[in-house]
Amino acid sequence: MNSLKKLIAVAGLSLGAATAAQAQVVFFDDFDSYTTGLNKSSFGPWTVVGGNVDLLPASGINFGVTTEGNFVDLIGNDPGELTRSVNLTGGQLYKATFEIGGARTGANTDTVTFELGTTSFSKTFATFDPKQTVEIFFLAGSTGSFDVSLTNSSEDFLNGAKLYSVQVAAVPEPRTVALMLAGLGVVGAVARRRQTRA
């Protein structure tokens, strides 16, 4: 019975370590803590290089968007690059997650380039494309400050794609995931063994 308790404790520790590794969020931003307004060149840690964006509330001038909080129209009256810096650890794999959708007005498409460090990915959104998730991955070659950015290209200089949230998180190492699965396997085996004895 004593060895069973030790086995359960080890499984619990491995599960806890894996869960902590999965939850390593570097930053999350849904833009709700900033003052809304049109043609912004900066807000909070974000800056707009070469143009401006609109930071809009859930109600008011919202271009038919149904949302629970603030969102960013990636084109104010002059398209630019929305960017912020983030500190990352060398040798760690990171995932940037963007919740984004179409412009909701006009008939033009918007091509958005997503960047994290040296990784970039472009996606084209039709006007009424619903909110969706775009993910990119970046392996930090060294510890330091890296940029997270979005650039919206469109023929419409008033309405851009709508950005609802951004998150950067460390991706757990494969050995951490393996440790978690081993821990779950041990807990399952112990549970089956107990059922067999009963």
Asked if 87 and 53 count as a contact pair (C-beta separation under 8 A), the reply is no
- The yes-or-no verdict on residue 164 having pLDDT over 90 is yes
Asked if 114 and 123 count as a contact pair (C-beta separation under 8 A), the reply is yes
Helix and strand totals (H; E) in the chain: 2, 13
Higher per-residue pLDDT: 37 or 61: 37
Mean pLDDT, the chain, rounded, equals: 81
3-class SS of residue 65: coil
Closest listed residue to residue 110, CA positions, set 53, 30, 190, 26: 53
Tokens of 123: 């996606």
pLDDT in tens, 174-190: 655 445 556 656 666 66
- The first and second tokens of residue 23, run together, are 């939850």
Query: Within 13 Å of residue 64, how many CA atoms lie on the same side as its CB?
Result: 13
Answer whether residue 172 shows pLDDT above 70: yes
Q: Mean pLDDT over residues 55-61, rounded?
A: 76
Q: What angle do CA 116, 172, 121 make, to 5 degrees?
A: 25
> Which is more confident, 14 or 193?
193
pLDDT at site 39: 93
| 14 band by pLDDT with thresholds 50, 70 and 90 | very low
pLDDT at 193: 65
Q: What is the pLDDT of residues 91-120, one digit of tens each?
A: 999 999 999 988 777 767 889 999 999 999
**Which pLDDT value is given to residue 146?**
97
Does residue 17 surpass a pLDDT of 50?
Answer: no
Torsion of Cα atoms, 152 then 142 then 169 then 146, to 10°: -30
What is this structure's pTM?
Answer: 0.75
- Whole-number pLDDT of residue 197: 67
In the structure, what pLDDT confidence band is assigned to residue 15 with cuts at 50, 70 and 90?
Answer: very low
Spell out where the chain has E strands: 25-29, 37-40, 42-43, 46-49, 53-56, 71-73, 81-88, 93-101, 110-116, 119-125, 132-139, 144-154, 162-170
